[in-house]
Each structure stands twice: as structure tokens, then as C-alpha cells.
Amino acid sequence: MHASQHQWKRAERFLAQVREGFLARGLAYDASLASLDLALVYLEQNRPLRAAALANEMLSVFAAKEIPREVSATMILAGRAVAKMALSTQSLRQTIAELGDARDRKASI
């Protein structure tokens, strides 16, 4: 296996474990961010159908009450765009960063 492929597989396993841990703890916001990160890994590996399936899973799981409406809407739109394969990896990276920043702002309030 090529070195970069090995790194992608490690990242995939790690993010899947992180996502499952957040889901098990009922942390929908963090699970959604981990899902988007994992979708990005799939897109980077040219696996858009797997990214789309993960985004659809994320949307079905995503029903958190503690998330501000604007952040919730952004996550849902990003998930739908990934599911439709209508979001570039660069745009997804930017969305993930903005959602992480929003989480950090909420935590400091």
C-alpha cells in the first residue's frame, strides 16, 4: 500500500472512532463535525459515494437541541451538499473550520 493511502486509512479509522465516541455520548455537534471531517477524507480519496452516504447518515442522526439554529442550518446544508456531491474539498474544509470556530465561540460564552 502506498504511504499516503496508508495515512488516509489511518485517518479514516481514527475519525470513525472519534465520531462513534461522540455519538455514544450524545454529542451531536461534535459527531457532526467528525462526520464532515471523515467525509472530507473520503472525498480526498476520490470516494464521493462513501462521503455522500456518510453525509446522509449524519443528517439522519443530527437532531441536537443545544446547537444554535444558524450552526444547525450550516451543518445540514453542508451535509446535503456533500450528499449531492456538490461541494468541493476546499469549500468543505472552510465550512468545517467555520463550524469549529462557532463551537469554540459558544464554549467561551
> Over 70: is that where the pLDDT of 108 sits?
no
pLDDT of res. 48:
85
* Total tally of structural domains belonging to the chain: 1
CA nearest 30: which of 83, 69, 75? 75
Whether the pLDDT of residue 5 is over 90: the answer is no
DSSP letters for 16-79 = HHHHHHHHHTT-HHHHHHHHHHHHHHHHHTT-HHHHHHHHHHHHHH---SSS-HHHHHHHHHHH
- pLDDT above 70 (res 65): no
Split at pLDDT 50, 70, 90, the class of 107 is low
Render pLDDT for 29-55 as a digit per residue (tens, 0 to 9): 888 889 889 989 998 888 888 888 888
| HSE value, Cβ hemisphere, 13 Å, CA-based, for 16 | 11
Mean of the per-residue pLDDT values of the chain: 80
> Which range of residues forms the domain containing residue 27?
3-107
Residue 56 pLDDT exceeds 60:
yes
The per-residue pLDDT for range 77-99, each reduced to its tens digit, is 777 787 777 778 888 888 888 88
